[in-house]
Chain A
Amino acid sequence: MGVVGEIVPAVLAVRVHAARPGQEHSPFVLDVDVEVPHGITILFGPSGAGKSTLLDCIAGLVQPDAGRISAGAEVLLDVERRLDVPARRRRIAYVFQNLALFPHMTAEQNVAYGLADMNAPDRSQRVVAMLEAFDVEKLAGRRPDEMSGGERQRVALARSLATSPRVLLLDEPLTALDAGLKKAIMDDLRAWNAAQKIPILYVTHSRIEVDALGERVIALDQGRVVGAGTPLEILDSPRRSSMAQAAGFENLLSGKVTELREADGVMRVQIDESTCEIETPLGYRDVGSKVKLAIRAGDILLGIQQPSGLSARNVMAGKIVSLEQRGTTFVARVATICEGSIIFTVHLTPGAKRVLDLEVHRAVWVVIKTHSCHVLYE
């Protein structure tokens, strides 16, 4: 029952399925179904979770294999009905991680770029208003390389919002700024949106930003939504019911987070009663919190010499303690050489066993990719 003249805030509804060729044999699959109400919603997840791909789908820069995207009553994409509104007609604003300000244009020209349909007087009026709203009217005549980082962010926001978009997508645009500047810009954005009431989807991999900005959070991991709610609910509640998820993982380890490296999207976990540390994808926990790691036996590599020049981050010296054949698979148990050694179960093909001449007591190197270590929570 809308009152006459009242703007009914539109909800962004997104259901997409997109498969991308992955780095390994398994493709990366984005499979998401979310609704974004007006106001700021944080899209949170580690690097490689599919956050930018999701935004690209919403903006119309990437075509998903299946799905439907709508903003309010208007359908922007419906793969089943072969409906695909091109990016330039979606009226969705998108501030990229690198901002993508046009380097050869002044702030004024950048902001005016999306207003080609307006007549000249209206356009210059809108440009001035947008520059003022984001406190950069003094920079009108400057090009991006003559501005500071914070000024560029403000101009990018003004440019995006000048077109009166119905949705705003922000891909980690403020990550590089210090906290004070970030807060000031977000306050300006909130003030602007108090009147517009559009859905704003803010992508970050930093949990500090989630705490600082969040009203609502959607957590994304490996292409799937793994939680939605307030920051407190998402960051402190279990990501998955661990034991159910752990089915099919031969190696289950418990440990404690010793270090977060947010910039790299990884953390280090010290395995219980051991001095061994394993690097895993960044989870949603603090240093000191307890986690469980699940690693498939088929995801672990063995080498007979110390490997070098690998992208895998976990390389540990070990020794084979048992080796038995089960059907066409050899199952090796390998103990790492550190205090309180870890025993890994490793699956090998008969060919690998033969070529490497693997035997019990043989010294080996255990190699595990960071992303093969799945983080579970109790």
Chain B
Amino acid sequence: MMDPLLLSLRLAAWVSAILLLIGMPLAYWLAYWNWRGKFLLEAIVALPLVLPPTVLGFYVLVALGPHGPIGRISDAIVHRGFAFTFGGLVFASVLYSFPFTVQPLIASFEAIDRRLLDASAILGAGRLRTFQKIIVPLSWPGIMTALVLSFAHTLGEFGVVLMVGGNLSGITRTVSIDIYDHVQSLEYAEANHMALLLLLISFTMLAVVYGVNRRVGRNMWASWAR
């Protein structure tokens, strides 16, 4: 019974780590640069918020499949497709949770007083140093929100996983798929166990984020600045 849960946690950990890595530079770019076509990129980033997961999952499935662009590359390198694998699941989930990482990051970067960034430049710091020493410590609450939201969102996703991963025990059967399976087989007690567990985990994570954002804030900044 624990297999699907561990798989979900592993998936969520990978996805939120990868998203943070991609999301930080992208959010920095979107928050501080202005160019003509920026709104298009912003629309693309927000797309998973409104798109039905099955639509996103469908296109990812096609792309990952043996005739899709990504599937072909993967086939050429490791002689197998990408669909119905854990890697494919990670790929699809990264796309699906994108706005949940990028939007809080943009919001917290934009909230920083521009004069602090000016001051950093005046004092001789380049962009990278300003990012490390000023932007990251001051947007700590936003970064944590981004991490937890993408983690929790990945943990609970269903449609995309079903489309891209299918239902392979130990490989792509995540918690939400497992719950669906139990309900289909009229195993309500088992479904309830899993559902309750997911509910508790999600609630705890959100409660921790809101609690920490409110109380610790500045003390955390201080240790980051050193």
Given the complex of chains A and B, what is the CA–CA distance between A88 and B115 in angstroms? 14
B206 within 8 A of A: no
Name the one of A60, A100, A143 contacting B113, with C-beta atoms under 8 angstroms. A100
- Chain A nearest CB from B112 CB (Å) reads 10
Question: Which of B22-30, B90-98, B133-141, B144-152 lies at the interface with chain A?
Answer: B133-141
Which residue on B lies nearest to A98, using beta carbons? B115
Say yes or no for B49: interface residue by CB 8 A criterion.
no
Residue B44 at the A interface, CB < 8 A?
Answer: no
- Expressed in whole angstroms, the Cα–Cα distance for A160 and B124 within the complex equals 11
Q: Are B122 and A113 in contact (CB under 8 A)?
A: no
CB pair A102 B116 closer than 8 Å = yes
- Bound-state Cα–Cα, A218 to B126, Å: 33
Q: Does A202 have its Cβ within 8 Å of any Cβ on chain B?
A: no
Tell me the complex Cα distance, A59–B123, Å.
Answer: 11
Q: A82 interface residue, CB < 8 Å from B? A: no
Q: In the complex the two chains form, what is the Cα distance from A196 to B6 in whole Å?
A: 65
Asked whether A113 and B123 contact (CB < 8 A) given A102-B134, A104-B138, A104-B222, the answer is yes
Q: Which of A89, A103, A117, A145 has the most CB of B within 10 A?
A: A103
A-side interface mostly: loop
As a 0/1 sequence over residues 84 to 114 of chain A, the CB contacts with chain B under 8 angstroms (1 = contact) are 0011110011101010111111100100011
Residue of B120, B121, B138 with most chain A CB atoms under a 10 A cut-off: B121
B136 to chain A, nearest CB (A): 10
Q: Chain A residues near B119 (CB, 8 Å)?
A: 94, 96, 100-102
Closest A-chain residue to B115, C-beta based? A100
* B129 interfacial by beta-carbon distance below 8 Å: yes
On whether the beta carbons of A100 and B121 are closer than 8 Å, the reply is: no
Q: Tell me which residues across on chain A come within 8 A of B138, comparing CB atoms.
A: 103-104
For A61, list chain B residues within 8 Å (CB): 118, 121-122
Report if B224 contacts A (CB, 8 A). yes
With an 8 A cutoff between CB atoms, is B225 at the interface?
yes
In the complex, A143→B217 CA distance in Å? Answer: 14
B201 at the interface (CB under 8 A from A): no
- CA of A88 to CA of B119 in the docked complex: distance in angstroms? 9
Question: Which residues on B sit within 8 Å (CB–CB) of A59?
Answer: 118, 122
**What total of chain A residues lie within 8 Å of the partner, measured CB to CB?**
29
B221 at the interface (CB under 8 A from A): yes
Is there an interface contact between B113 and A105, defined as CB atoms closer than 8 Å? no
**Nearest CB in chain A to that of B112: its residue:** A103
Interfacial chain A residues near B116, Cβ < 8 Å: 100, 102-103
Are A104 and B221 closer than 8 Å at their CB atoms? yes
CA distance A59 to B221 in the complex (A): 28
Is the Cβ of A96 less than 8 Å from the Cβ of B124?
no
A87 touches B133 (CB 8 A): no
Task: Tell whether, in the assembled complex, residue A114 and residue B222 are in contact, meaning their CB atoms are under 8 Å apart.
Answer: no
**Given A96-B119, A100-B115, A114 and B224 contact (CB-CB distance below 8 Å):** no
- Alpha-carbon gap, A88 to B127, bound state (A): 10
Please, which residue of chain B has its CB at the minimum distance from the CB of A101?
Answer: B119
Measured between alpha carbons, how far is A300 from B123 in the docked complex, in Å? 47
Residue B80 interfacial (CB < 8 Å) = no
Please state if B129 and A116 are interface contacts (CB–CB under 8 Å). Answer: yes
From the candidates A89, A92, A143, A160, name the one contacting B222 in the complex (CB within 8 A): A143
Q: Which residues on A sit within 8 Å (CB–CB) of B222?
A: 104-106, 143
Tell me the A249-282 residues at the B interface (CB within 8 Å). Answer: none
Q: How far is the CA of A310 from the CA of B115 in the complex (A)?
A: 31
Q: Is the CB of B115 within 8 A of A113?
A: no
Enumerate chain A residues within 8 angstroms of B38, measured Cβ to Cβ: none
Q: Name the CB-closest residue of A to B130.
A: A88
- Asked if B115 contacts A109 (CB within 8 A), the reply is no
List CB contacts (< 8 Å) of A50-106 with chain B.
59-61, 86-89, 92-94, 96, 98, 100-106
> Which A residue sits closest to B118, measured CB to CB?
A61
Q: Please name the residue on chain B nearest to A113 by beta carbon.
A: B123
Question: Complex: how many Å from CA A117 to CA B129?
Answer: 12
Q: Which residue of A lies closest to B217 (CB)?
A: A104
Which B residues are in CB contact (< 8 Å) with A166? Answer: none
Closest to B125 in A: A88
A153 at the interface (CB under 8 A from B): no
Interface bits B51-85 vs A (CB < 8 Å: 1, else 0): 00000000000000000000000000000000000
Q: Does B193 contact A (CB under 8 A)?
A: no
- Cβ of A147 to closest chain B Cβ, rounded Å: 14
Q: Is A159 an interface residue (CB 8 A)?
A: yes
Residues of A contacting B125 in the complex (Cβ-Cβ under 8 angstroms): 88, 113-114, 116
Pairwise interchain contact B122-A104, C-beta atoms closer than 8 A: no
Report the nearest A residue to B113, measured CB to CB: A100
A204 within 8 A of B: no
Which A138-183 residues have C-beta < 8 A from chain B?
143, 145, 159-160, 163
Contacts from A to B (Cβ < 8 Å): 59-61, 86-89, 92-94, 96, 98, 100-106, 109, 113-114, 116-117, 143, 145, 159-160, 163
Chosen A-B contacts, 5 in total, with CB atoms closer than 8 Å, are A59-B118, A88-B123, A94-B118, A96-B115, A114-B123
Knowing that A102-B134, A163-B123 are A-B contacts, what are 9 other residue pairs whose CB atoms are under 8 Å apart, sorted by A's residue number? Answer: A59-B118, A86-B121, A87-B122, A88-B124, A88-B125, A101-B119, A102-B133, A103-B218, A114-B125
